[in-house]
Amino acid sequence: MDRRLLVLLAALYFAQGLPFGLITRALPAIAREAGLPLQYIGLLSLAALPWALKFLWAPWIDRWGSAAANHRKRWIIGCQLAAVVVLGGMSLLPMASMTVSVFVQLLSLLLLLNLCVASHDVASDGLAVRMLSVSLRGVGNSLQAAGYKVGLMVGGSLLLWLVALLGWRSTLWLTMLLLLLLLWPVLRYPEPATPPVVRPALTWRWWLAELARFWRRPGLGWWLVLLLFYKVGDSFGSRMIKPFLVDQGWSLGEIAALDLSASFAGLLAVLLAG
């Protein structure tokens, strides 16, 4: 059971990193090569809003259906299948000619995709916290981080290279197939029912109380300052690097190779730092 759980966690977080790498690392270069102006490419960062706001609906995911077996498993499967459907919609967009109309459709679909993946993350975190024993939490956390990082690298580098080789539509179809295959360890894992406990009723008042409890956590204000003044700026700025490389004449394949090299360098730095 422990081995099956660890494999499941690695697959879950790889499945989250895959589309997120495509959105944050590959898509800016693809959009710029298709002729999208730089100011619109910067606006693609707005599609990540569901990740910042997922605390709003996380309590509902944690509670809805919690009395039955496979509670979080159902959320995970539903979110992953929904992500596949959204990717299918994205594959139909005419990315070769990026007009304002296509951009609006793309941004809307990216918001939906991030909503699916962020909700998937809430359910996956809940499953990990509940099912990992104390002795396995260190290993489990390492597998979560490694699975996500590898998914991010594949989504940002390999998929960008595949777009250059096969085109936008074929690459997204392969991504959809991979996400469907990654459901296999989820389907095979039996999540037991949560032991019955007395909990407050699911009401708006309960939800507001949960949000208030979240914001009253010690040190959360400082983390919010760090998030706003460092992480948000870094996220908006770093995703403009690849469009600038496109303007300098770099091909998508060359940008993919650079991104992969930088990712491996980052992994090496993490290992050396311990």
Domain ranges for the chain: 2-273
| Each residue's pLDDT tens digit, 19-58 | 888 888 888 888 888 888 888 888 888 888 888 888 888 8
Report DSSP letters for 134-157, one per residue. Answer: GGGHHHHHHHHHHHHHHHHHIIII
pTM score of the predicted model: 0.83
Q: Are 28 and 40 in contact (CB under 8 A)?
A: no
Q: Are 13 and 184 in contact (CB under 8 A)?
A: no
| Each residue's pLDDT tens digit, 220-270 | 777 777 666 665 555 666 677 788 888 888 888 888 888 888 777 766 765
Distance CA 91, CA 79 (A): 18
The domain 2-273 having CATH identifier 1.20.1250.20: the answer here is yes
Mean pLDDT throughout 181-206?
76
Which amino acid is located at 134 in the chain? V
Using CB atoms within 10 Å of the CB of residue 132, give its burial: 0 to 12 exposed, 13 to 18 middle, 19+ buried. buried
Q: Is the pLDDT of residue 274 over 50?
A: no
Residue 41 has what pLDDT?
Answer: 85
Virtual torsion, Cα 139, 140, 146, 152, nearest 10 deg? -170
SS3 75: helix
| Each residue's pLDDT tens digit, 85-115 | 999 999 999 888 778 888 899 999 999 999 9
Residue 65 has what pLDDT?
Answer: 65
Residue 205 has what pLDDT?
Answer: 77
State the maximum Cα–Cα separation within the chain, in Å, rounded to a whole number.
Answer: 62
Q: Are 7 and 139 in contact (CB under 8 A)?
A: no
